[in-house]
Amino acid sequence: MSDISNTKTLNPFPSGRSGGALLVIKIGGNIIDDEAKLSSFLKLFAAIDGPKILVHGGGKLATQMAGKLNIPQQIVDGRRITDAETLKVITMVYTGYINKNIVAKLQSLHCNSIGLCGADGNTILAHKRIHPDIDYGFVGDIDSVNTSFLKTCLSNEMIPVIAPVTADKNGQLLNTNADTIAGEIAKAMSNLYDVTLVYCFEKNGVLMDINDEESVIKKINRNYYEQLKSPSRADGEVKIFAGMIPKLDNAFEAVNDGVKKVIIGKAENIKELISGNSGTTIVNE
């Protein structure tokens, strides 16, 4: 990951982590699809002190809108195949409806925010995914994050609110996974700040027992993660819910690439997540 070389920035920043602490928080469909939950979360988010970046996913709205518009949706390996009509819907819903409603709500809470997709300020440059077997359509894989621009926003007390749409260098918009965007932003911004990345999802944290919300694992380091992943139980299954492994692999990739820590938990508990009193913390130890 590197800055976009052709981006002009009049505010050069010294290298090193001179910016202090930075929070990168990702919220997903379980919050976005629920007006009351979103509203409560935004109040908590607005009250957090210091530099912060919010990355939001898409939720069910795009699928609902595609349905109303009779655009058939195809999901392969959990990824939406994004044809031209689907991209149009995604752009409308993610960068328009969801993003601007979040920004307007945050402004009303005196949190001076600015809604961005990857094209705005060249925040995120991507390319169309190349896959040997599957044509994902207009799906973007990230090439670079414009850290200078994001730092300019933060230095001017602007909170970036980022929609999961990027663009390639030819001006083609691309549907891009919000978890990946949050991770790439967190890693890139680690050159300038001490970054904490918070992945909000529907559970209290990484659970030892998927059916017990109280079985949150408070802290996972590399050694413990290897133990958790090892199929040591009598039935040959790993100790933690297998569905968490891709999320945890991403988290370890982030801490390996400079992110100070990754916290996984519920958006409703964002204050407690940040203070270390809720959720699971992943550290590079």
Rounded CA separation 23/92 (Å): 27
Which residue from 25, 53, 54, 116 is in contact with its own copies, where contact means CB under 8 A?
A: 116
Q: Is 100 in the site for its own copies (CB under 8 A)?
A: yes
Identify the DSSP state of 222: H
Q: Is 104 in the site for its own copies (CB under 8 A)?
A: yes
DSSP secondary structure string, 68-125? HTT---EEETTEEEB-HHHHHHHIIIIIIIIHHHHHHHHHHTT--EEEE-TTGGG-EE
Which residue from 5, 6, 15, 211 is in contact with its own copies, where contact means CB under 8 A?
A: 6
Asked whether the beta carbons of 105 and 57 are under 8 A apart, the reply is no
Q: Is 256 in the site for its own copies (CB under 8 A)?
A: no
Identify the DSSP state of 184: H
Q: Is 60 in the site for its own copies (CB under 8 A)?
A: no
Which residue from 47, 69, 76, 242 is in contact with its own copies, where contact means CB under 8 A?
A: 69
Only one of the segments 76-84, 156-164, 180-188, 246-254 lies at the binding site for its own copies (rule: CB under 8 A); that segment is 156-164
Scanning the structure block, which residue is given the tokens 């655009």? 71
The one-letter amino acid at 240: I
Which residue from 73, 81, 96, 250 is in contact with its own copies, where contact means CB under 8 A?
A: 96
Chain residues in the site for its own copies (CB under 8 A) = 6-11, 65, 68-69, 88, 91-97, 99-101, 103-110, 112-117, 119-122, 152, 155-158, 165, 167, 169-173
